[in-house]
Structure 1
Amino acid sequence: MKGVQSILFSQKAAPYIFILPFIISLSFFWVYPMISTIIMSFQDIGTGYSEFIGLANYEKLLGDSVFHTAVKNSVLYTIFTIIILIPLPMLCAFLLNSKNVVAKRTYKSIIYLPALVSVVVSGILFRYMFSEMDSGLMNQILNFFGIDSTQWLKNWGTGMFALLLLATWRWMGVNTLYFEAGLSSIDKVLYESAEVDGANAWQKFWHITLPLLKPTRIYVTTISIYGGMAMFLESYMIYGGNSSPKNIGLTIVGYLYRRGIEKNDLGYASAVGLVLLIVALAISMVYLWSSGMFKKEDK
């Protein structure tokens, strides 16, 4: 008993005891599933049997046109969300940080409210908004300007627009608060010194605000890459299921769900999941490398 107590109250053992719950949860919920997925990706798994088939699942992926469509949709969705949800929230945060804006807390609360709405509720709401019937909100707007109603969710461009509008509505406020927090950490003395030197608003933004917001930009972009590549539920709810016309709303996660859950092909779904992980990691690592995150700082 004394030996156990001496270990528990030892200063050397204390750090390991404190991180033990994290290590256990990481091993159980990440390491073990990852190893299992890697093994399953080399197998043909059905009801009550599993057979090792080598690289057959990955070879099948190379010629799978539906999978290629899912990859294209996910990558383009990720690119578009980054283009929209990085500069616009940064601009909103810059405006909120202005001295001329009153009731800042009220504005922050309002723009953050969409993030509190469930994805399921948001998806159903946008499905009705983009309904192909004349009663749909978007078609009512078109009809008001004398434009005929359109089948929003049956065309790739308008369907992607619906998904991007949903993403913008839900995450604009969250990213704005990230950038607003980054702006708040910038020392105001830098702006005062720049004003003394005669710098205008654009020069202060370009030479002070933008460089010092780099850590925030990198963080927001990185989580946006993950969120874009992992998008599934938004498309599922907008299209009322995982089967969109001509797979225009199909994502990599949606295809994983289709093969693994709907068709019970867990081996092939595991291969799809690993490819998703590799693609997301590759995009993130390339971005972090291009941002200079892996460069050694000068001493």
Structure 2
Amino acid sequence: MIVNKFLYSSKYAPYVFVLPFILSFFIFFFYPIISTCIMSFQDVVGVGQNKFIGLKNYKDLLNVHFYTAVWNSVRYCFWTLLLLIPIPIVLAVFLNSKALVAKKFFRATIFMPAITSVVVAGIVFRLIFGETPGAPLNTILGVFGINPIEWLRNENTAMPLLVLLAMWRWTGINIIYFLSGLQNIPTELYESAEIDGANVFNKFRYVTVPLLKPIIIYVLTISIYGGLSMFTESFVFWQNHSQNDSGLTIVGYLYQQGFENGNLGFASATGLVLLLIVITLNLFQLKFFGIFKKEDA
């Protein structure tokens, strides 16, 4: 009786309904962040045996392996942003066209990679881009007289492979985002633009892109995070031991130090630096392109 009275109370019931979220937030998000911040200043030995070492973990980050990991993650993020925003927008416009035949088939086909396990996709890519002459792609190159390429051991092909896998996997998801935005644009705007003499490119530039701005900002924000936190794709390709660290990412370096070397304090510092980089870049782009930008009156 008391429980029912408490649940049906207009004063206390709202707190009861939000309690699961509050508890999960503090247990699985807030507490791990605070714990990570503390461990980043410690030499983590064991429970009750950790000792504070000041900024040593952060000073130790100033090494060539970490610089390489940051550079690889930034390059990967740059190329995925450059390709995974414009291309899905254009494809979404085509898929939203009334003149396109078999829309559902093309939408399903393009979205299919998104529901495929990234581990499975990575293994398939490893087989396709194998190093032996009998690997599928090297076999095709051999038909044209091109010598076999060691795709995964070549520093020049490591990043293109990662970006290609990202393109294959995430293009469909971004298309869905942009399709949802396109379907909310009133057709009257396009009709008015046609009356004013606008061609296809002008309608795309002055109607489609401006009205897709909220979706573009959203995709840009999650893509920055996704690009800088990429780990699984690289791990499937090289198990975190690529040639001259050509496939090493920030999260991969964190994994190396925290789980392979057992240096959890150093790994915590690495994670916090990654968090700082992601927040800084997203605040920067939101300031100049997103919600923090003051629109002209």
TM-score by length of 2: 0.96
AA partner of residue 54 (structure 1): G
Choose the corresponding residue for 1:264, options 241, 262, 265.
262
Q: How does 1:141-152 map to 2 (within 5 A)?
A: 141-152=140-151
1:140 is displaced (CA, Å) by 2.1
AA partner of residue 217 (structure 1): I
Q: What secondary structure does 2:158 align onto?
A: helix
Q: What secondary structure does 1:10 align onto?
A: coil
> Is the Cα–Cα contact under 8 Å of residues 185 and 211 in structure 2 kept in the other structure?
yes
1:141 is displaced (CA, Å) by 2.8
Distance 1:114 1:248, change over 3 A: same
Distance 1:222 1:99, change over 3 A: same
Q: How does 1:230-245 map to 2 (within 5 A)?
A: 230-239=229-238, 241-245=239-243
AA partner of residue 95 (structure 2): L
Q: What secondary structure does 1:153 align onto?
A: coil
Instruction: Tell me, in whole angstroms, the C-alpha distance in 2 between the residues paired with 1:44 and 1:227.
Output: 29
Instruction: Tell me, in whole angstroms, the C-alpha distance in 2 between the residues paired with 1:297 and 1:95.
Output: 30
Listed as ranges, the gaps of 5+ residues in structure 1 are none
Distance 1:7 1:295, change over 3 A: farther
**1:139-167 residue CA offsets vs partner (Å, 9 max, x unmatched):** 22322222211111112220111111111
Q: What secondary structure does 1:152 align onto?
A: coil
Instruction: Tell me, in whole angstroms, the C-alpha distance in 1 between the residues paired with 2:138 and 2:160.
Output: 14
Distance 1:106 1:97, change over 3 A: same
Residue number in structure 2 paired with 1:103: 102
Residue number in structure 1 paired with 2:66: 67
Choose the corresponding residue for 1:247, options 228, 242, 245.
245
Q: What secondary structure does 1:54 align onto?
A: coil
Residue number in structure 2 paired with 1:113: 112
RMSD over equivalenced CA pairs, Å: 1.5
AA partner of residue 245 (structure 1): Q
1:197 is displaced (CA, Å) by 1.3
1:137 is displaced (CA, Å) by 2.1
Count of aligned pairs? 296
Instruction: Tell me, in whole angstroms, the C-alpha distance in 2 between the residues paired with 1:66 and 1:206.
Output: 43
1:213 is displaced (CA, Å) by 0.4
Instruction: Tell me, in whole angstroms, the C-alpha distance in 1 between the residues paired with 2:213 and 2:235.
Output: 34
**1:39-82 residue CA offsets vs partner (Å, 9 max, x unmatched):** 000001124631100111111112x1101111111111011001
Listed as ranges, the gaps of 5+ residues in structure 2 are none
AA partner of residue 9 (structure 1): Y
1:297 is displaced (CA, Å) by 6.2
AA partner of residue 51 (structure 1): K
Q: How does 1:155-194 map to 2 (within 5 A)?
A: 155-194=154-193
Distance 1:143 1:187, change over 3 A: same
Instruction: Tell me, in whole angstroms, the C-alpha distance in 2 between the residues paired with 1:295 and 1:279.
Output: 20
1:129 is displaced (CA, Å) by 1.2
AA partner of residue 222 (structure 2): I
**1:228-254 residue CA offsets vs partner (Å, 9 max, x unmatched):** 111111111112x11111111111111
TM-score by length of 1: 0.95
Residue number in structure 2 paired with 1:276: 274
Identical-residue share of aligned pairs (%):
52
Instruction: Tell me, in whole angstroms, the C-alpha distance in 2 between the residues paired with 1:268 and 1:157.
Output: 30
1:121 is displaced (CA, Å) by 0.6
Instruction: Tell me, in whole angstroms, the C-alpha distance in 2 between the residues paired with 1:290 and 1:262.
Output: 40
Q: What secondary structure does 2:54 align onto?
A: coil
